[in-house]
Amino acid sequence: MSTAAAPEVIALSGIAAAIIDLDGTMLDTAPDFRVAVNRMRAEMDLAPLEQKTIVDFVGKGSENLIRRVLAVDFPAPQVEQHFDAALASYQRHYEIVNGTHASLYPGVVEGLQAMRDKGLRLACVTNKPLVFALALLEKTGLRDYFELVYGGDSFPRKKPDPMPLRAVCADFELEPAQVVAIGDSSNDAQAARAAGCRVFNVPYGYNHGESIQDVDSDGIVASLLVAAHHIST
């Protein structure tokens, strides 16, 4: 574990929009992942995994998650042999449990409202498949805060590629420097830096088992509400 100090939070000005991640940033969805993954594994006669193990695999989309989960038990060639069936099983179970065991992180609703009160336009960009992202936002009462929602299957490439963030900037007709991305992992920071956006990270969530202090960002904010206090138009 890194002992590096968290980067000092920079106050951002001239910001017109925020792009906010979903899993690990607004919602703790790890319990949903655990249930769906272990139901899939049970169908394959595999032992259940602990939630911490699964969380370290989260963040780069469902395909990566399932490949990492299968790699616990199988060598690479067998992972690919089982992949299609495992992914279909996981998605079937995830559709059922999506949002059932998830919980909002502190300061999320207050932070979104504070950003909107400042006149910021809001987009949610996640690597979760869009249909699951929309259902989750609806179930948790967050959908109406966002003008745009893009999932991991909305574009040919997902975070950490900058493509989804550049699309939001184009849709909002804003320069990237007018947009801040907020997320819990290196995916969000790398995508933002490559797109030319500013970026804040939150210290909780899922960063592939790595220290968030090591991620290049404009600072670590304790919550979305704290982020809102460091943003001005």
With beta carbons less than 8 A apart as the criterion, state whether 179 and 186 touch.
no
The partner residues of 148 in beta bridges, in order of sequence, read 123
Contact call for residues 89 and 81 (beta carbons, < 8 A) = no
DSSP state of 18: E
Candidate list 21, 184, 188, 218, residue with the active-site label: 21
| 195, two tokens | 């797109």
* CA atoms in the 13 A half-sphere facing the CB of 216: 8
Residue 195's nearest CA partner among 209, 216, 176 is: 176
Q: At what angle do helices 186-195 and 163-172 cross, to 10 degrees?
A: 50
32 an active-site residue? no
| Active site residue ranges | 21
